Structures are given as structure tokens and as C-alpha cells.
Amino acid sequence: MRRGREFGITIDEFRIDMSAVRDRKRRMVSHSVDIHLDIFKKSGVELILGSGRFIGPRTLEITLQDGTARRVRGDKVIISTGTRATLEAIPGLAEAQPLTHVEALELDVIPEHLIVIGGGYVGLELSQAMRRFGSKVSVIDRNNRLLHREDEDVSEGLRGLFDDEGIDLVLNARLKKYIGEVRPGSPSVI
């Protein structure tokens, strides 16, 4: 749409409705959850939805969604609790209430200027999406290239694409402190 004129397509006006974008995302997530719940049911595996904690060797207590508790024991217990984003101890960062990928996916406004800390695939995915929605985007990474675990030609290719899209890249850089204005309700850093 933004490059329409280049292709001879005239678009007088268009705007992004982030609430609608978010609603669609929520529908996609809930559809995906339904599919997986269905697979679980069909497989015969018992799925217990609740929060588990060990209360003894190989024994867990689960707080179920209705608040009641249930105990389970297994000869073998596999812990697969995943990870959560952590905030580096950069002065001022926590106070700035930055978004992690969780909150960023719940935005119903397009940030005026989004600063993305970290040029890994999650940060890059969000950067590209937000840039295309119309946000100014700057990516800061401590390494001298994007996706530094990938082959160098991948990083080079991405750099070219990001330059073309007008995404600002600040590489080989470490954050010392966050000195921006803290505006509750309008976080702009992820």
C-alpha cells in the first residue's frame, strides 16, 4: 500500500486499525490453542490445566483453574516450563516499563518510535511488522551484526532489507542507561 504509486496504484488514504490487528491476532492464537487442545483430547493424554509445583520427590501439587488442588506423582517427571523475557539491569530501563514480546503483541496503538533492544529473530520480526504498520523503528544490538548466530550472509541480507525499509540499526552498542521520558500507558521500548 505504501509503495502503491511506484506500481501505478493510487491509494488516496489508508490507515492501520491496531485494535483490529490485535483482535485478529487473538483469534489466530485462540484457534491455534483449540487445535492443540483437540489433538490432546484425541491422543488420550490427560491434560491438566493448572499451575504445578513440587511438594516432594516426583510429586506435584497442581492448583487448578477453579482454585482447587490436585496431587500427582510420576516415576518420571519432565519439566518443560519454557522461559520468560528478563530485563537487563540497565539503569532506568525497568522504570520505563518496557514491553516484552508479550505486551508488544497486545498493542492497540502504533508506537510513534519503537526502540527494540536486541536484534534476535523475535526483535526483528516485531521491528519489521511495526515499521510496516507505520512506526519509526530503531534496533539496538550489542553484536556487530543482526542474528549473530546465523551465517554472515544471512545477517548481511537482513541488513540490506532493514536499510531498504528505513529501520534504524544501532549495532555494536551497549545500553548504558535509559533516560527517556517515562509515560505510563504509552510504553515505547521492547
Ligand X SMILES: Cc1cc2nc3c(=O)[nH]c(=O)nc-3n(C[C@H](O)[C@H](O)[C@H](O)COP(=O)(O)OP(=O)(O)OC[C@H]3O[C@@H](n4cnc5c(N)ncnc54)[C@H](O)[C@@H]3O)c2cc1C
Give the binding site for ligand X (CB under 6 A): 51-53, 80-82, 101, 122
Question: 181 CB contacts (<8 Å, ≥6 apart)?
Answer: none
Which residue, 85 or 93, is less far from ligand X as judged by CB?
85
Question: 92 — alpha (psi -120 to 50), left (phi > 0) or beta?
Answer: left
Which residue, 102 or 182, is less far from ligand X as judged by CB?
102
Which residue, 58 or 183, is less far from ligand X as judged by CB?
58
Q: How many residues does the chain have?
A: 190
Shortest gap between Cβ of 18 and ligand X (angstroms)? 17
Question: 137 CB contacts (<8 Å, ≥6 apart)?
Answer: 113, 114, 115, 116, 127, 130, 131, 167, 168
Which residue, 5 or 31, is less far from ligand X as judged by CB?
31
Which residue, 57 or 184, is less far from ligand X as judged by CB?
57
- Gap between the terminal Cα atoms of the chain: 26
- Closest chain position to ligand X (CB): 82
CA–CA–CA angle 20, 25, 30 (5° rounding): 125
Distance CA 178, CA 91 (A): 6
Strand order in the sheet with 168-170: 113-117, 136-140, 168-170
Shortest gap between Cβ of 64 and ligand X (angstroms)? 11
Shortest gap between Cβ of 8 and ligand X (angstroms)? 34
All three cell numbers of 167, joined, read: 529501520
Shortest gap between Cβ of 177 and ligand X (angstroms)? 26
Shortest gap between Cβ of 53 and ligand X (angstroms)? 6
Which residue, 16 or 122, is less far from ligand X as judged by CB?
122
